[in-house]
Structure 1
Amino acid sequence: MKNDDQINNHVIKEKIDNTNNTIQDLKMKILCNEKKIQEIKLRNLANIDNFKKNIEKTTNEIKINNTEIFFQKIIPIIDSLEEILTLFDTSQEQHKPLIEGIQLTLQSFLNTITKFGVHLEGKKNEEFNSTIHDAVLYEKSSEITPNHVIFVNKKGYTLNKTVLRKARVTIAKK
């Protein structure tokens, strides 16, 4: 009997050891899976964060692009108002109210676009810069330094360092 009890005890001990080993293996697998789950969570959070950043970036690019397009559409209106003013004979009294109205409208446009970050480019005596100037003529000049603007044929405009339109200018040459 003792021998049977010893065998039974031995079998039971083996089963307990096997069960303990299985429990340890399962605990290790649980820990491993918990780590994997945590990594997946972190990856998903990073993906969500990247997605948000991409959406923000894309939205900002669209806003900037639409703003540039809007101001590019406004520039010809400003050009037209300036051209109209050059066509009127300012000495005639009958035209003065109309001229003043056009001048006020033009000034209002210029003030508004300036508030939104649009800058006028192209000034007399300024050094030629191919980024913001488009040379349409070269003339000899004794008054203006070579490679400087003699005359602004058409104003240029920039928005946040983006050229909306280059200034068309006449440049002094030697």
Structure 2
Amino acid sequence: MTEETRRTEPIDQPQTPEAASANESTANANEEKTDVMPSLEEMLRIAEQKAAEHHDAWLRAKAEAENVRRRAQEEVAKASKFASERFAASMLPVKDSLEAALGTPNQTLETLRQGVELTLRQLENAFESANVRQIDPQGEKFDPHLHQAVGMIESEAEPNTVVQVLQKGYLLHERVLRPALVMVAKPKSEPESTKGGEQGASS
């Protein structure tokens, strides 16, 4: 072998222990990456499992929402069915008093009156417990939302003032159950003699 050939051939350098250790670590890391990375089949299995979990959660949420809706409907139905239960219970003593009055023989007029007054107080208490309020607008300004005018009469009161209550009205909370039937004041007309005197004076 000539001197020139020896100069052109690569000379294998011996690896140091540090370089050999680094190469071995790199190879091990590549092997670990290959082992950790899941296969397509594994990725598909995981995706299907998550999809099934989400579907189950959706079914549970749907069932819970349906249960809530059904319970709400049942509560509304019960409230509508038994809305008058409290008022009906408060009316029972009134009926008992009326039956007792009719069942008592040989009543005097005064005894009968006292029984009717007692029954009326029971009825008023029942109305109060049910938030039923009376409309008695005597002397008040006419209100078309609460009153129903059946006529007008001449009066010393201001025009559109309620001067006579023919039938009381009632409110349930703020809703009108029945308007009060009333007569409303109108200005008094001038006497004919006064009108004639005024006309004569003007002529």
Task: Give the structure-2-normalised TM-score.
Answer: 0.55
User: Offset at 1:105?
Assistant: 1.6
Output the amino acid matched with 1:20. Answer: S
What is the rounded CA distance, in whole Å, between the counterparts of 1:150 and 1:59 in structure 2? 45
Q: State the identity %.
A: 24
Residue 48 and residue 147 in structure 1: after superposition, are their counterparts in 2 closer, same or farther (change >3 A)?
Answer: farther
Structure-to-structure mapping, 1:1-174, within 5 angstroms: 20-64=39-83, 66=84, 95-143=109-157, 145-174=158-187
What is the rounded CA distance, in whole Å, between the counterparts of 2:82 and 2:140 in structure 1? 32
What is the rounded CA distance, in whole Å, between the counterparts of 1:147 and 1:63 in structure 2? 42
3-state SS of 1:55 partner: helix
For structure 2, the residue ranges without an aligned partner over 5 or more in a row are 1-37, 99-107, 188-203
Residue 130 and residue 58 in structure 1: after superposition, are their counterparts in 2 closer, same or farther (change >3 A)?
Answer: farther
Per chain length, whose mean CA-contact separation is higher, i.e. which structure has more relative contact order (CA < 8 Å, sep 6+)? 1
What is the rounded CA distance, in whole Å, between the counterparts of 1:51 and 1:117 in structure 2? 31
* Structure with greater helix share of residues: 1
For structure 1, the residue ranges without an aligned partner over 5 or more in a row are 1-18, 82-93
The 4+ residue runs of structure 1 with deviation greater than 4 A are none
What is the rounded CA distance, in whole Å, between the counterparts of 1:51 and 1:172 in structure 2? 56
Question: How many pairs are equivalent?
Answer: 134
Larger Rg: 2
User: Offset at 1:109?
Assistant: 1.1
Task: Give the structure-1-normalised TM-score.
Answer: 0.63
